[in-house]
Amino acid sequence: MRVVITGGAGFVGSHLCERLLGAGHQVVCLDNLISGRAENLAALSRQPGFHFEQVDVSDRCDAAGPVDAVLHFASPASPVDYLRHPVATLRVGSRGTENALELARRKQARFLLASTSEVYGDPEVSPQPESYWGRVNPIGPRSVYDEAKRFAEAITFAYRRSQAVDTRVVRIFNTYGPRMRPNDGRVVSNFIVQALTGEDLTVYGDGSQTRSLCYVSDLVSGVLGVLGLAPEIPEAAGPINLGNPVEMTVETIARLVLELTGGSSHIVRRPLPEDDPKRRRPDIRRAQRLLGWTPQVPAHEGLERTIAFFRAELATPTPTAVRPSAAAPATAESRA
């Protein structure tokens, strides 16, 4: 296939590019590098089937030649990024999604939207099934991301109904692994960097709020499984949760990181940020039934790999190796 990936220089996007190239496909990566990193593509740029263009897909989304699939992963995804770029986050969820859908329509390509567990907001139902409509504050500080993704889903289904575009939607839960940015404000990267640098680990609230951590290689397998679903399968059109159903408290994650790093840091507490979800646990029965997909990498193993990545990252003096500050809420949403 020839695949366009928007946001392909990001954490998840770059792993998708790598997996597709390794399987012999051609990849066109579009990214404005607001939150993506050129370093994530360094090894890929030497491969003949890879093409990168620095572009804001909220303004323009195009690719010369045939296209078989468009994977829309462009968006700031961590709280640090979308709170710093609120309007850009809303634009890429609205105009960027429309432009990516238009590309798929013009090229008669399959379209896959990277949505998020944030569409469920601070849920009153757990685990969260795809049928749950969510509990989102539409005007709170997190709404720029939550509502951008909810709109992105709405316009994706509108294009499916009115323009006959073959669409897929995945709702991605907390994902972690190599290529996360040290200063992106997510719970795993925050805790690991703080532990490795001897700083206290910042836990927001009482630490009883939960996250479900999915290693990035498992997530990529799920995404590609959804992309490959046959169009005649009715449920292929609906949103599909991708995440790890094993629920862990934030304090448990912090203590596990301390154990695996051998750090002597202490846990300190800060007030819980506004609208921070108290529970995150996906109902993945739809993915299991349609794809035979279940995450394979246990938390200990995935965290050890991620810790090894951050040890190397912090040992290399680059501008990206910045310690997370206590002001960055330790939430755990992951996207491109």
Catalytic residues: 145
Q: Give the Cβ contact number of residue 159 at 10 Å.
A: 21
Q: What does the alpha-carbon distance between residue 46 and residue 275 come to, in Å, rounded to a whole number?
A: 43
- Hey, what are 145's tokens? 């991301």
| Residue whose token pair is 């506004």 | 274
DSSP character string of 114-178:
EEEGGGGBS-SSSSB-TT---B--TTSTTHHHHHHHHHHHHHHHHHHHHH---EEEEEE--EE-T
Q: What does the alpha-carbon distance between residue 93 and residue 78 come to, in Å, rounded to a whole number?
A: 14
Question: What distance lies between CA 240 and its chain's CA centroid?
Answer: 14
C-alpha distances out from residue 245 to 170, 189, 254, 294, Å: 15, 20, 19, 9
Rg (CA), the chain: 19
Q: What are the E-state strand segments in the chain? A: 2-6, 26-31, 50-54, 69-72, 110-116, 167-172, 175-176, 201-204, 210-211, 214-215, 239-242, 248-249, 267-270
DSSP character string of 283-305:
--HHHHHHH-----S-HHHHHHH
